[in-house]
Amino acid sequence: MFSSVVPDYDLKNAVSSNRLQGLWRMMTGFRLAYVAATACLGIAALSRTAVFMLLRYFVDHVLGQQGRQGMAAQIALAFVGLALVQGLFTFLSGTLAARTAEGVTRRLRNYLFDHIQRLSFTYHDQTATGELIERSTSDVDAVRRFLADHAIGAGRILALFVVNFVALLRLHVPLALLATIVVPVLVVLSLVFFRRVSKVYEEMQEQEAVLSTTLQENLTGMRVVRAFARQQFEREKFEQQNWEKFVRSKRFLQMHAQYWPISDLLCGAQMLACVSIGARLAINGTISVGTYVAYAVLVIWIIWPMRNLGRMIVEMSSGLVSYQRVAEVIAVKREELTEGDYLPASDVQGQFVFDHVGFQYPSGHRALDGISFRCQPGRAIALLGSTGSGKTTLVNLLPRFYDYTSGTLTLDGVELSRYPRQYLRQQIGIVEQEPFLFARSVRDNMTYGVHRPVSDDEIEAAARAAAMWDDIMEFPNGYDTVVGERGVMLSGGQKQRVAIARTLLKDPRILILDDSTSSVDVETEHSIRRALQHLIEGRTTFIIAHRIQSVMHADLILVFNEGRIVQKGTHSELMQEDGMYRRIYDMQTRVEATLERELAGGGLF
Ligand SMILES: Nc1ncnc2c1ncn2[C@@H]1O[C@H](COP(=O)(O)OP(=O)(O)O)[C@@H](O)[C@H]1O
Ligand SMILES: [Mg+2]
């Protein structure tokens, strides 16, 4: 629907080590408009210079001459015509350049958004979110400014220079050379100066980023700030950072305030020299009065724009740096979603066989080692073990969030790495420890990722099965209640149950429950466990839990320690072994007994 305006082009092809070439490729589909913008720029510059040449003709051949006053009207008309041409083409050039820049960056933004959500978990583990946001917003905007303002601006300055210089040469060669003496000085001066300014500018931007990070963190963590009564501390921190921002901005403005008077002085001196030497030549008759008049204005137009050339060049180079930062992200390989040489026509059965499976994070940490067990379709496997023992890492292998690095792992007899990721993810439902909800309605969150139309009856059934229906009925707008950012309007248990309802609607063959009951109170735990019973029925389930009650009914219990399985079996088997499982069991029952005693005796509160 939207794509008709933005030509299709795979931006992957725009990645190049030559940044200018890369940018040029990025403009595929918009180049003609951009070239036209440049041509319009040239025409506008030409017509401006033509005005001055016409002025010369007017002074020399019309003004002082008898019997030619009749031409005055024609010349006036020509002036108006030239002004119109100049205005029209300046406008056209600006519009075309802006349209190009907006089109290119709009396509770039869309591409980056889609690209980033297709990058691997490993990439996201290693890259800060803020960094990606920065590249998809500020850097893209810098590319836009490069195309719309800086490249066009520099082109305009150069076009004015060339056209006016040629015109000056035609007037009088020595005078033309005289007019450009200061130009190299100005260019070098502005280059050196704006390079320094851009450093100061970057420092200012950095501080701005610090400020906005602080602001954002404080807004998100407002509850914590208030709970710990840290307002005063946070205020002082912010004020100090804001002061630094003020200092840096002042430095930036002061540098600007230095440059313009200096360059004004230079240009002024140059013009004074040109105008007075030109005047002497006119007085002693070497050049005509018309030539002198044209010369005086052309000098202005050849010198003044030069003051900005350095700025344009420096800003262009920061645009090129931004291009590179964007291109780096584009160059990252995407996670293959649909690739895989084995695609079953129907749903999986859900039989997993682990044979000496090992996994090492790219950081080098060996999180799993020698994992071997088998799991029959429809059975429940429980994973128990201290934090950091590798339970989450193991279940992350199943949807191929990460690929195991050694051993073999088969699903229904076929190596897992042969399945397309997208297929696996459709077959697997995950209820995370802290489910993420979008700031949308309860209904939208429940049907998220369900690739089929869902009726209201189905939604209600899922809500009931997840023990969430009563809660939803108490919400002000029922299913249409918006749950707030990350679902802050819901309690931990409610979020869990919405996630369970969402998974029920997805109806996957394989289920992963990562610590689904660990962060909720006893009563909620009870209703969640009931909701989970509905969910588990008939599905191959992996349950990660801390409490023995949550795992004791599983068909197979795996006890993890430091990435290895140290015990496996059913509850009754493991109770007979003298190992970690029984120690955890004893400890938990002892804690609970104490708790009960103290509650009964009123000792705890
Ligand atoms: N994305 C990651 N990159 C590198 N190491 C990780 C990553 N995620 C987890 N780990 C490490 O792997 C080990 C197992 O972690 P995890 O599977 O989350 O444990 P559990 O779920 O049992 O608490 C830990 O030592 C953890 O620090
Ligand atoms: Mg975990």
Distance from residue 585's CA to the centre of ligand 2 (Å): 20
pLDDT, tens only, 511-531: 999 876 665 566 667 777 777
Side chain identity, residue 160:
L
Pocket test for ligand 1, best of 121, 123, 127, 361 (most atoms within 8 A of CB): 361
Report the C-alpha gap between 294 and 271 in whole angstroms: 13
Q: Report yes or no: 244 and 207 within 8 Å, Cβ to Cβ.
A: yes
Distance from residue 514's CA to the centre of ligand 2 (Å): 7
Report the C-alpha gap between 26 and 98 in whole angstroms: 15
DSSP 452-511: S---HHHHHHHHHHTT-HHHHHHSTTGGG-B--GGGTTS-HHHHHHHHHHHHHHH--SEE
Nearest C-alpha to atom 8 of ligand 1 is from which residue? 393
pLDDT, tens only, 8-36: 788 999 899 999 999 999 999 999 999 99
What per-residue string of b and e applies to 50-59 under the rule 16 or more CB within 10 Å gives b? bbbbbbbebb
Beta strand 428-431 pairing with 510-514: parallel
Q: Report yes or no: 511 and 536 within 8 Å, Cβ to Cβ.
A: yes
Q: Which residues pair with 542 in a beta bridge?
A: 381, 512
Tokens of 543: 């349950």
264-290: average pLDDT: 91
Side chain identity, residue 284:
N
Residue 427 has pLDDT above 90, yes or no: yes
H or E stretch including 354? Answer: strand 352-360
Report which ligand 1 atom has the smallest distance to the Cα of 514. Answer: 21
The response to whether residue 125 sits with its C-beta less than 6 Å from ligand 1 reads yes
pLDDT at 116: 94
Report the C-alpha gap between 371 and 354 in whole angstroms: 6
Q: Report yes or no: 34 and 147 within 8 Å, Cβ to Cβ.
A: yes
- Ligand at shortest distance from the CA of 361: 1
Beta strand 414-415 pairing with 428-431: unpaired
The response to whether residue 391 sits with its C-beta less than 6 Å from ligand 1 reads yes
The response to whether residue 49 sits with its C-beta less than 6 Å from ligand 1 reads no
Distance from residue 130's CA to the centre of ligand 1 (Å): 22
Q: Which residues pair with 512 in a beta bridge?
A: 430, 542
Report which ligand 1 atom has the smallest distance to the Cα of 122. Answer: 1
Distance from residue 64's CA to the centre of ligand 2 (Å): 94
What per-residue string of b and e applies to 521-560 under the rule 16 or more CB within 10 Å gives b? eeebbebbbebbebbbeebbbbbbbeebebbbebebbbbb
Distance from residue 580's CA to the centre of ligand 1 (Å): 21
Instruction: Report which DSSP code applies to 127.
Output: S
Report which ligand 1 atom has the smallest distance to the Cα of 385. Answer: 22
Which residues, at least 6 apart from 65, have a Cβ–Cβ distance to it below 8 Å? none
Pocket test for ligand 1, best of 393, 515, 560 (most atoms within 8 A of CB): 393
pLDDT, tens only, 572-593: 999 999 989 999 889 888 887 8
pLDDT, tens only, 336-356: 888 888 888 888 999 999 999
Residue 379 has pLDDT above 50, yes or no: yes
Residue 181 has pLDDT above 70, yes or no: yes
pLDDT, tens only, 66-114: 777 778 888 899 999 999 999 999 999 999 999 999 999 999 999 999 9
Q: Which of 476, 472, 468 is nearest to 503 (CA)?
A: 468
Tokens of 284: 């002693």
The response to whether residue 386 sits with its C-beta less than 6 Å from ligand 1 reads no
Report the C-alpha gap between 496 and 518 in whole angstroms: 11
Distance from residue 68's CA to the centre of ligand 1 (Å): 92
Which residues, at least 6 apart from 491, have a Cβ–Cβ distance to it below 8 Å? 524
pLDDT at 565: 95
Nearest C-alpha to atom 4 of ligand 1 is from which residue? 361
Distance from residue 120's CA to the centre of ligand 1 (Å): 16
Nearest C-alpha to atom 1 of ligand 1 is from which residue? 125
Q: Report yes or no: 434 and 408 within 8 Å, Cβ to Cβ.
A: no
Q: Report yes or no: 349 and 427 within 8 Å, Cβ to Cβ.
A: no
Distance from residue 392's CA to the centre of ligand 2 (Å): 4
Beta strand 366-375 pairing with 380-385: unpaired
Distance from residue 588's CA to the centre of ligand 1 (Å): 24
How distant, in Å, are the alpha carbons of 76, 254, 306, 553 from that of 87? 17, 35, 21, 82
Neighbour count for residue 296 (Cβ, 10 Å): 17
Percent of the chain with pLDDT over 70: 96
- Ligand at shortest distance from the CA of 386: 1
- Ligand at shortest distance from the CA of 390: 1
325-342: average pLDDT: 91
How is the beta sheet containing 406-411 ordered, strand by strand?
366-375, 352-360, 406-411, 414-415
Q: What phi and psi, each to the nearest 5 degrees, are found at residue 579? A: -150, -165
The more confidently predicted of residues 2 and 83 is 83
The response to whether residue 540 sits with its C-beta less than 6 Å from ligand 1 reads no
pLDDT, tens only, 479-488: 999 998 888 8
Report which ligand 1 atom has the smallest distance to the Cα of 383. Answer: 22
Distance from residue 519's CA to the centre of ligand 2 (Å): 12
The response to whether residue 387 sits with its C-beta less than 6 Å from ligand 1 reads yes
Tokens of 200: 């100061």
Distance from residue 523's CA to the centre of ligand 2 (Å): 23
Report the C-alpha gap between 269 and 275 in whole angstroms: 10
Beta strand 564-569 pairing with 556-561: antiparallel
pLDDT at 603: 45
CB under 8 A, 24+ apart: contacts of 114-121: 115/329, 115/330, 115/332, 115/334, 116/329, 118/334, 118/335, 118/337, 119/332, 119/334, 119/335, 120/333, 120/334, 120/335, 121/335, 121/396, 121/401, 121/402
- Ligand at shortest distance from the CA of 359: 1
Distance from residue 588's CA to the centre of ligand 2 (Å): 20
Report the C-alpha gap between 463 and 459 in whole angstroms: 6
pLDDT, tens only, 189-213: 888 888 888 888 888 878 888 888 8
Mean pLDDT of the chain: 88
The response to whether residue 367 sits with its C-beta less than 6 Å from ligand 1 reads yes
Report which ligand 1 atom has the smallest distance to the Cα of 363. Answer: 4
pLDDT at 354: 96
Per residue, the 3-state secondary structure of 289-330, as one string, reads HHHHHHHHHHHHHHHHHHHHHHHHHHHHHHHHHHHHHHHHHH
The response to whether residue 278 sits with its C-beta less than 6 Å from ligand 1 reads no
Backbone dihedral region of 285: left (phi > 0), alpha (psi from -120 to 50 degrees) or beta? Answer: left
